Amino acid sequence: MSVKISRSFKDISLSFTRHPVTNDITILRNEDAIKKSVINLVKTNIGERFFNPILGSGVINSLFELQSSGVESSLEEEITTLLNNFEPRISLNSVIVQIIEDSNELEVKISYNIVGLPIPNQNIEFILQPSKV
């Protein structure tokens, strides 16, 4: 007889909003927790985390070098390596980075499956843009 292992994932919301009933910090569960984690990993610069200086990517810094040739494939490799090394809750399917030339932005599309949860393939799309001061 085979035993199925059910997994559940929880993270705190970094918005630090209160739950209306319990007054605790709101919790992100399963798909939402992992989605937020993946986006945060991509947006984290190398050296930004105090106790893990190798965690992060140079994606944000690449926003200023978008005219270089081959930048999309380089960033796709970097994000793939980052997620394979630092997000064990997912099985990565694809990473696609496209430059939006008119606005100097990057469109990032990530597709993955969540390990241990019987849910459909997850897709994330977000835009990275240089910060405006």
pTM of the model: 0.76
Distance of CA 39 to the CA centre of its chain: 3
Residue type at position 54: I
Residue 84, pLDDT score:
95
Domains of the chain: 39-128 (3.10.450.40)
Residue 54, pLDDT score:
85
Q: Provide mean pLDDT across the span 19-47.
A: 78
Distance between CA 65 and CA 45 in Å, rounded? 15
Write out the H or E segment, with its range, that includes residue 84. Answer: helix 71-86
Residue type at position 119: I
